[in-house]
Amino acid sequence: MLRISPTDTPPASISAGQGWPLFSTTATRQIEKACAERLPPHRLMERAGLAIAKLAMAIAPHAQRIWIACGPGNNGGDGFEAAAQLRAMLPHAQIMVSEVRAAAELPSDAQTSRDKALQAGAQWLDGAPVDLGPQDLCVDALLGIGLSPRTSGKTSAAYQRLLQLLAQVQHCTCSVLCVDIASGLDADTGQYLREFAPVHITTDQRRHTLALLTLQPGLFTGQGRDACGQIWWDDLGCGIASTPDVPSSPTLAAAAQPVAHLSNPGLASSRTRPHASHKGSFGDVAVLGGEGLGMRGLSMTGAAWLAALAALHTGAGRVMLALLDEPSPQGIAPWPEIMLRRPAAQDWSQATVVCGCGGGEAVQAWLPHILAQAPQLVLDADALNAVAASPALAQQLSQRAALQQSTVLTPHPLEAARLLRTSTAQVQADRLQSCLQLASKFQCTVLLKGSGTVVANPQQQVWINASGNARLATGGTGDVLAGLIAALWTQGQSADMAATQAAFRHGHIADCWPADLPFSASALALRLGNP
């Protein structure tokens, strides 16, 4: 997902277990100001233009026509600078520029770069080229991280031209390179402002984004992953990459504290097991869920089986499954290693518990006991809905931390909305803040599912997972994730680490799935032992 831009800037090193820092728009602006003050005038924009031009050549080495759409601010200035650089690098290629704002209205740096592009021989267009082929390239330098709600509602000619050019960028069929972030996308939340959202996603596009100076959360969550595609990063030689989470300059460190971190693939590495081990060395997972046909005629026992199967194949020492299918589960277990229990017979105080997968209405009666007994508890699906519907259960959940009992919640956006008493749209509008609110409200680790899964804890630490794809949009994969978290947790990981590791491994397996192999939740669970 993340690659380093091919410039002369030294790449940032990634230490084991350390994720890339993600900065807010405000912090990025502060870093940009501090960097510009340390450099000669216009040098930062020159470096940005060079980085864009070199990456453009790497993405589309055979492009004969490159169209650069330049916006009204410094993002547009970076585009003008890239046009000048590309003219020098590709003298036989056609470098075309469209602009939103009149030259006299541009910031001074952008004016300087615009003049350079004109002098270099870039071709100015009124709109988009009509015959840009699939082997050519479009550079989106319209808005970048300069987007704000104040941009909306304008009726000027420049604003209408911006909308027109943005629509043409979003719907062209050639590869697209976005500068900073896909235009129209909020860099802090990963959501489009309504008036800038594409009418439909053009699946023919190959999208790339070059983040300059910092990485922002919106690149990796919400609509950001589809909008931005392959992410590249360049710190423009400002020394921000000397360590992943602390800029080298004291001035920059004071200006910029990350709001989140990107989960690192190194988190998924498995530990070698000592030879002198036994099944008790790797913890117990107990799963409660799976309402049977007898209660309402709606069997959901498969969800609980999937969670148990995932825990088994992730290496838990023992896995017990208590189905809410009274009077007792019938038949022979399809996986004899998973030990069946009646709920009343299971000692819930001696295991890491997964509660809720396929639990239906039957799980609600058991929740007070589970919340009181389980030392480590993964709450999923119908257990979350039961908590959302019951103030007494919600209060009991929020009190677990004070009793030294740990909890991981794994809601999807609708379940999160119910827990926060808001709408799914509001949850998705700011996924990081929604996840933080849940972690604070219930004093536990929260994993908010979706594109760019977010993990947060009560200490206001946030991680975003960048693995995974639309293969996971099928029934049962969330149950697999719950069992995976429990298995990692019971083997000694912290709640936060188990959640972030599980999210990465879950998505990574989907990313590496053979194209000719059918995908299903049970197949995913079986593959967890060999990610």
Rounded distance between C-alpha atoms, residue 32 and residue 252, angstroms: 9
DSSP-derived secondary structure letter, 185: B
Question: What pTM does this model have?
Answer: 0.91
Q: pLDDT of 65-110, one tens digit each?
A: 999 999 999 999 999 999 999 999 998 899 999 999 888 889 999 9
Residue 449 assigned ligand-binding role: yes
CATH class of the domain defined by 12-242+250-257? alpha beta
Q: Which of 237-251, 426-440, 499-513 has the lowest mean pLDDT?
A: 237-251
Lowest mean pLDDT among 228-242, 400-414, 512-526: 228-242
pLDDT of residue 244: 41
Please state, in angstroms and rounded to a whole number, the distance separating the CA atoms of residues 73 and 178: 15
Asked if 131 and 172 touch (Cβ cutoff 8 Å), the reply is no
Q: CB count, 10 Å around CB of 351? A: 24
Residue 529, annotated ligand binder? Answer: no
Secondary structure class of 525 (helix, strand, coil): helix
Give residue 173's pLDDT.
Answer: 85
What are the structure tokens assigned to 262, written together? 């990107």
Contact between 5 and 55 under an 8 Å Cβ cutoff? The reply is yes
Taking phi first (over 0 means left), then psi (-120 to 50 degrees means alpha), and beta for anything else, what does residue 302 get? alpha
Please check if 356 is assigned to a binding site. yes
Q: Model confidence at 330, in pLDDT bands (50, 70, 90)?
A: low
Q: What's the pLDDT at 4?
A: 46
pLDDT value of residue 274 = 82
pLDDT digits (tens, 9 = 90+) for 301-325: 999 999 999 999 999 999 999 999 8
Which helix (H) or strand (E) segment is 69 a member of?
Answer: strand 65-70
Whether 479 has a binding-site annotation, put simply, is yes
Residue 451 marked in a binding site: yes
- Answer for the pair 493, 270: CB distance below 8 angstroms, yes or no: no
127 labeled binding residue: no
Compute the distance between CA of residue 203 and CA of residue 183 in angstroms, rounded to an integer. Answer: 17
Q: Percent of the chain scored above 70 by pLDDT?
A: 88
Query: What confidence tens digit (pLDDT) does each residue in 183-197 have?
Result: 999 999 999 998 898
**Which fold would CATH assign to domain 265-270+283-528?**
UDP-N-acetylmuramoyl-L-alanine:D-glutamate ligase (3.40.1190)
343-357: average pLDDT = 97
Q: SS3 for 449?
A: coil
Q: Are 505 and 528 in contact (CB under 8 A)?
A: yes
The domains spanning 12-242+250-257 and 265-270+283-528 adopt the same CATH topology: no
Question: What pLDDT, on a 0 to 100 scale, did the predictor assign at position 328?
Answer: 52
SS3 516: coil
Q: Mind listing the pLDDT tens digit for each residue in 123-167?
A: 999 888 877 766 789 999 999 997 754 544 466 888 899 999 999
Q: What percent of the chain has pLDDT over 90?
A: 72
Instruction: Judge whether 525 is annotated as a binding position.
Output: no
Residue 260 marked ligand-binding: no
Please compute the mean of the pLDDT values over residues 405-423 and round it to a whole number.
Answer: 98
Give the number of residues written for the chain.
531
Is 77 known as a binding-site position?
Answer: no
For 259, the enclosing helix (H) or strand (E) is none
Q: Is a pLDDT exceeding 80 seen at residue 272? A: no
Residue extents of the structural domains in the chain: 12-242+250-257, 265-270+283-528
Beta bridge partners of 138: 67, 176
Mean pLDDT for all residues in the chain: 88
- Tell me: is residue 303 an annotated ligand-binding position: yes
